[in-house]
Structure 1
Amino acid sequence: MQMHAGMPGTTVDRATFRLPFLFIVTGMIGFVTFHLFTLVGHLGWIDDAPRNPVGWSHVHLILLGWATMVAMGAVYQLISVILQRDVYSRKLGFIQYALFTLGVAGLVVGFRQFQTGWIAAFALLTFTGILLFTCNIGQTLRLARSWNPITLSVASALIYLLLAGGTGLTMGIGFATGWDASFRLQLLTAHLWLGAVGWFGLLITGFSYKLLSMFHLAHQVPTRKQKVVWFLWNLGVITGVTASILDAPLGHWLGGGLITSALIAYSLHLKEIRKHAIKKHPGPGIAFTQWSAHGVTLIAVLFLISAPWLSFEDPRLQLILGWIYLYGWVGMTILGYLSKIVPFLWWTYKYGVHAGKPSTPTLGDLINQRWIGITLKMIGIALLLMTAGIAIPSEMFTVLAGAVLSLSSLAYITWIALVFVR
C-alpha cells in the first residue's frame, strides 16, 4: 500500500508525514486526556445526558480533540493515496493545525469553567481551523477532478463539517450574548446531525471503501452499493437537519430511517469486499471495524422497528444511542484503523529506505496484534455492559463498566503509541 507518491525515505517524502503525524499524535493525547478526565471525575458524567457544561466539555474533547483531530490527519495522508497527488498546501495545513488545536483546547476549558466569552472566542478559532481544512482539502479535490463514491463522500463530509462548525460558532456566540435562546435547541440538533452523522458517517464510509479493499487485497469490488450509501446518507442528513430547523420530530424518524437504509447498504458492501478479498484476515483492528459496522446496523434496524413504542425525547434513549453510534461505531472504527495506519506510516517514515536489509524490522514487529485484539474485545464488551447499565438503569453497574471501558481504551492506545519507539 503506497501512502505517498515518490521514493519513500527521501527528504521530501519524509516531510510529508509530519503533518499527519502531528494531527494523529495530538488526537491520541486528546483521547488519553478524555479518559483520564472521566476516571478522575469518578465517571459521574457518563450516565447523564450531556446537557451541562462538564458534559459539553467531555463531548467536544472526544469528538473534536480526538476523533476529528485523528480524522484530519488521516485525510491529509490518505487523500494523496486516493488522488495520487499531494495536498494543495501543507504549509496551510500546519497553520490550520495550530488554530484548530488551540480552538479545541480553549473550548474544552471554556465549557468546563462555563466561561461564555471563552466559548465564543475559541469557537471562532475552531471554526477558522475547520474553514482552512475544508478549503485545503476542497481545493485538492477540485484540482484532481477525480469524482467517484470515495471522493464524493469526502467532499460531502467536508461540507457537513463546515456547516457543523458554523452552527457550533453560532451557538458559541449565543452563549455569550443570549440572542439565540429561542432556537438554541434547533441549532443543537442540527449541529449533531451535521457533525456526528454527516461528517463522521460519510468520511468513514468513503475512506473505508479504499482502506478495506487495500487491507483485504480485494480487487474488482462492485461500486454500486457505494453510490447507494452516498445518496441515502446525504438524503438522511439533509432530512434530519431540515427536521431540526423546522422542529418536526417526524422528520428525525424519517432521517433515521434513511441512515439505517444507508447502513444496511454499507454493511452489505463490506461483505462484498470480503467476498473479493485475497487476504481474509487482515488483523483484529480491521475485523473490529467491520463487526462494529454490522453491529450498529443491526441496532439501527431494531431501533427503527421499535420506533412506535419509543420516545426520542427520552434523554436516556438519546444517551444510549449516542454511546453506541459515536463510540461503538465511529470510535471503534477509528481505533481499528489506527492499528494499521500508524504502524504503516511509522515504518515507511523510519525504515522505508532500509527495506530488505537484515536488521530492518518488519511491519508486524512494530505492534502486537494479539494485544490489539484483546484490548478491543475488552472495549467492546465494556461498552455493551455500560449501555445496558444506562438502560436498566443502575448507576453502580454503569460506573464499573465505564471504568473498564476507560482503562481498556487507555491500554489500547498505549499499544498504538509504543509503535513510535520501535
Structure 2
Amino acid sequence: MKTVSRLPFLFIITGIAGFVLFHATSILSLTGWLGEGIRGPTGWFQVHLFVLGWATMLAMGSVYQLINVILQSEIYSERLGYIHYFLFTIGLFGLLLGFIQGDILWIAGFATLAFTGILLFVWNMAVTLFRAAKWDGITLSTACAVLYLLLTGLSGMSMGIDFGTGWLGGLHENLFGTHIWLGTLGWFGMLITGLSYKLLPMFYLSHDYDTRLQYIVLGLWNTGVLLGAVSFLFGTGLWVTWTALAVMAAALIVYNIHAMQIRSKRHKRSPGAGIGWTTYGNLLLAVFALALLVKLAGSPGLLVETRMVMLAGWAYLNGWVSFMILSYASKIVPFLWWTHKYGKQVGKPGTPMMANLLDEKKANLGLGLIACANLAVLAGIALDSQLVIAISGIAYSIVSLAYISLIALVFSK
C-alpha cells in the first residue's frame, strides 16, 4: 500500500495549531472580540485566524489528499504544494501580526505573500483537474470552490491596496461584502458540498445512488453565490441579496435530500460519530437559513445590521463550516495517519487497527458538546447579551480545545 504524502499533514497540523490559537485568544479575551465587532484590528485578527489559519488551512490539506482519491491520479506538482504551504503560512501569520500592530505596510507585504501561495494552489489544482479530465458533481464543485478562493483573494488584495491608496472610494464597502460572500459561501460552501459527495458514500459504503441532485445543488449554489456577489459589488439592493439567500436555502434543502439518498443506500450501519454529526449539522443549517429568510422577508434592512451579520456569520462559519471540518476530521485524520504509518505493515503482528487510533465515544461526546456550545453562543448573539456570549463562548472554546486534542493525539499512536 502506498504511503500518504507528508504535504497534507503540514496543512492539517498547522491548521490545528491555528485552531488552538484562535480558541486560546478567545478565552483570554473572554470572547470580547465578538462584542467589539469585526471591523477593527482584534476582529480582523480573530476572523482571519479562524477562516485562514484554521478552516482554509485544513481545507487545503484535505484537498491535496482527497484530490488523488477523487481523480485516481497524482497531483500536478507536489513540490509546488510545499512552496504554496510555506508562502501561505508565512504570509498568513505575518498578516495576523500586521493586524495586531495596525501596520498597513506590514499587512500589505505579508498579504501579498499569502495571496501568492493561494495563486500557486489554484494553479496546482487547475492543472490537476484539467489533466484528469473527469468532470462530475465532485470535480465541478471542487473547481468552482478553487475559483471562488481566487476571487476572494483578489477582492481582499484590492481592499488592502485601497487602504493605502484610496483608489476604490465608495466601492470599498461594496467589495468588502463581496469578499465575505465569495469566501464563505463560495469557497467553503462549494468545497464542503463537493467533497461530501465523495466522503459520505465512502464512509457509508453506499452504492447505486442517484447523482442527479448533485448537479441541481451545483446550479443553485453557484447561482446564489454569483447573485449575492453581484448584489454586494454593484449595490443592487437588499431584495436581490435576500433572493440570493433564498436560492442558497433551496440549494441546502436539495443538498440535504441528496445526503439522505446516499444514507439510504448505505451498506455500513454506523459510519462513525463524525459522519453522523454531519447530518445534524446540515439539517440545522437548512433550518437556520429558512428561519433567516422568514425573519428578513419583512425587514430586509436587518441583513446589514451588525448583530444580524454576527448571527449569520457564527451560524455558518462556526455552526457549519468549522463543525463539518471537525466532524470529517474524526475520520480523515485517523485514515491518513494509519495509511502513512502502518500502510506497509498490513497483516503483520502488532499492527493496530485504524479504529484504535480514535475513541469514537469521546469523539461523539466532544462533537455533541461543541454543537450545544455553538447554539448557546448563537443565543447570546441573538439576545445581545455580552454575559451569555462570554460564558458560552468560553465553554465553546474549552470543549473545542478538548476535542481537537483528541484529534491531535492520533499522531502519537
TM-score, normalised to structure 1, is 0.95
Who is 1:4 aligned against? none
Choose which of 333, 336, 339 in structure 2 pairs with 1:348: 339
Q: Report the secondary structure of 2:224's partner residue.
A: helix
Choose which of 323, 348, 356 in structure 2 pairs with 1:357: 348
Q: CA deviation at 1:354?
A: 1.2
Choose which of 319, 322, 325 in structure 1 pairs with 2:316: 325
Q: CA deviation at 1:392?
A: 1.1
Who is 1:21 aligned against? 9
Residues 348-383 of structure 1, C-alpha deviations (whole Å, 9 max, x = no match)? 111111112231110111011111111111111011
State the alpha-carbon separation in 2 of the partners of residues 283 and 376 from structure 1.
Answer: 12
Tell me, yes or no, if structure 1 residue 159 matches structure 2 residue 159. Answer: no
Residues 301-331 of structure 1, C-alpha deviations (whole Å, 9 max, x = no match)? 1111222234112210110110000010101
Q: Count the aligned residue pairs.
A: 410
Who is 2:287 aligned against? 298
| 1:250 alignment partner AA | W
Who is 1:392 aligned against? 383
| 1:261 alignment partner AA | A
Who is 2:213 aligned against? 225
The answer as to whether partners of 2:12 and 2:57 remain within 8 angstroms in 1 is yes
Choose which of 271, 281, 288 in structure 1 pairs with 2:277: 288
The answer as to whether partners of 2:307 and 2:384 remain within 8 angstroms in 1 is no
Q: CA deviation at 1:240?
A: 0.6
State the alpha-carbon separation in 1 of the partners of residues 59 and 214 from structure 2.
Answer: 20
- What is the correspondence of 1:306-321 to structure 2 with a 5 Å cutoff? 306-310=295-299, 311-321=302-312
Gaps in structure 2 of 5+ consecutive residues: none
Q: Report the secondary structure of 2:170's partner residue.
A: helix
State the alpha-carbon separation in 1 of the partners of residues 10 and 222 from structure 2.
Answer: 31
State the alpha-carbon separation in 2 of the partners of residues 358 and 56 from structure 1.
Answer: 51
Q: Report the secondary structure of 1:45's partner residue.
A: helix
State the alpha-carbon separation in 1 of the partners of residues 374 and 398 from structure 2.
Answer: 12
Residues 248-307 of structure 1, C-alpha deviations (whole Å, 9 max, x = no match)? 222211111111110010011111011001113211111111210110001101111222
Who is 2:407 aligned against? 416
Who is 2:197 aligned against? 209
State the alpha-carbon separation in 2 of the partners of residues 47 and 230 from structure 1.
Answer: 36
State the alpha-carbon separation in 1 of the partners of residues 73 and 9 from structure 2.
Answer: 19
> Following superposition, which runs of at least 4 residues in structure 1 exceed 3 angstroms of deviation?
none
Choose which of 243, 246, 256 in structure 2 pairs with 1:267: 256
| 1:297 alignment partner AA | A
Tell me, yes or no, if structure 1 residue 177 matches structure 2 residue 165. Answer: yes
Who is 1:383 aligned against? 374
| 2:353 alignment partner AA | T
| 1:337 alignment partner AA | Y
The answer as to whether partners of 2:88 and 2:117 remain within 8 angstroms in 1 is yes
Who is 1:277 aligned against? 266
Q: Report the secondary structure of 1:170's partner residue.
A: helix
Q: CA deviation at 1:179?
A: 2.7
Who is 2:45 aligned against? 57
The answer as to whether partners of 1:46 and 1:402 remain within 8 angstroms in 2 is no
Tell me, yes or no, if structure 1 residue 336 matches structure 2 residue 327. Answer: yes
Q: CA deviation at 1:132?
A: 0.4
Who is 2:186 aligned against? 198
State the alpha-carbon separation in 1 of the partners of residues 394 and 21 from structure 2.
Answer: 14
State the alpha-carbon separation in 2 of the partners of residues 177 and 131 from structure 1.
Answer: 23
Residues 178-223 of structure 1, C-alpha deviations (whole Å, 9 max, x = no match)? 3334211101100011111000000000000000000000001111
| 1:103 alignment partner AA | G
The answer as to whether partners of 1:17 and 1:345 remain within 8 angstroms in 2 is no
Q: Report the secondary structure of 1:208's partner residue.
A: helix
State the alpha-carbon separation in 2 of the partners of residues 289 and 111 from structure 1.
Answer: 34
| 2:60 alignment partner AA | M
The answer as to whether partners of 2:377 and 2:389 remain within 8 angstroms in 1 is yes
Who is 2:20 aligned against? 32
The answer as to whether partners of 1:274 and 1:280 remain within 8 angstroms in 2 is no
Residues 160-194 of structure 1, C-alpha deviations (whole Å, 9 max, x = no match)? 00000000111111222333342111011000111
State the alpha-carbon separation in 2 of the partners of residues 378 and 274 from structure 1.
Answer: 24
TM-score, normalised to structure 2, is 0.97
State the alpha-carbon separation in 1 of the partners of residues 321 and 259 from structure 2.
Answer: 16
Residues 105-155 of structure 1, C-alpha deviations (whole Å, 9 max, x = no match)? 111111122111111111111111111000001100000000001000000
